[in-house]
Structure 1
């Protein structure tokens, strides 16, 4: 399965394009890409971004697909699914664990469901750290056509499987850390 890294955000809280912010000599997004490529079940990585950001990411050497919907994460996932079944990762999650990625992809393959998504004990899901079937694209198309852009709701209304996060090894739970502000970089560097 290929992995799609969503890179379409505006980084308002960060104050600059956080995915291209250099840490340890490389852009933040490269930490995500490199970890995804370490997963045994990931066959390759491509980026999904806005038209305005596409040129900024091409120099990284990976396929860049433009999200022409510009409808937030739901548009990025919809665009990525044109390539087939995909593992979706947010570009601001630099501590993503390759073992967890493989585990999610395995559960997805075993389940035969449209999506396989991590689930927190409080009911919150992690739709930007999940595996999706190309079939899910039809669900998203209907929702987008009706003006409903909530990815979480689409996952919940579809035939999805859930992975309880509380049952995961502690080191895998680090995967869900994301960088929103420059202060978050200090936490990332301590991991």
Structure 2
């Protein structure tokens, strides 16, 4: 089963006040934590969707062996980046979407999520903490059409909510793994 990993790194960081993906967390840019964690996952191919002006992210992704795609309209929301990554990976049996502003997500958690997806027989899988779902999420090919119909800033949550009976959930013990850094104070609290 071929799983494509799609790292979403084209956001505008409007609530952060500057490009949050370049903000230093534990000695390296925020995006680098996600890139490091995803690069080299076994039996996967990595695609990074970013924006033209984020050259540092594109260069680091290429150096890590990822395919880099550019979102010409990132202001249209996360769904626009998801669709760009998905269209480039339609041949994959499933796609795992990861966001670049979760610097504390662990590789082991993502590996467990992939194993859960493969063994569950379900069409989707995502991580959760005390019942609250988050990223990353995996969608099988049967959901590609619905994902390609998304728009705005909601992402795959709408698809997952519409088909919860076909989703497996990996419960994590540490809520910090699911923390999205949206504001500077989010980064400083950790």
Indicate the TM-score class for this superposition, using the shorter chain for normalisation. 0.7 to 0.9
TM-score w.r.t. length of structure 1: 0.76
CA distance in 1, matches of 2:153, 2:176: 31
In the alignment, is the contact (CA less than 8 A) between 1:33 and 1:45 conserved in 2?
Answer: no
- Note closer, same or farther for the CA distance 1:182–1:149 as it changes in structure 2 (3 Å cut): closer
Higher helix share: 1
What residue number does 1:130 align with?
Answer: 137
Is residue 153 of structure 1 aligned with residue 154 of structure 2?
no
TM-score w.r.t. length of structure 2: 0.76
Higher strand share: 2
Say which of 34, 47, 53 aligns to 1:32. Answer: 34
The offset of 1:23, in angstroms, is 4.0
Structure 2: gaps (5+ residues): none
- Note closer, same or farther for the CA distance 1:46–1:141 as it changes in structure 2 (3 Å cut): closer
CA distance in 2, matches of 1:42, 1:187: 35
What residue number does 2:146 align with?
Answer: 139
Structure 1: gaps (5+ residues): none
CA distance in 2, matches of 1:148, 1:12: 13
The offset of 1:46, in angstroms, is 2.5
The offset of 1:42, in angstroms, is 5.9
In the alignment, is the contact (CA less than 8 A) between 2:71 and 2:80 conserved in 1?
Answer: yes
CA distance in 2, matches of 1:53, 1:134: 31
What residue number does 1:87 align with?
Answer: 96
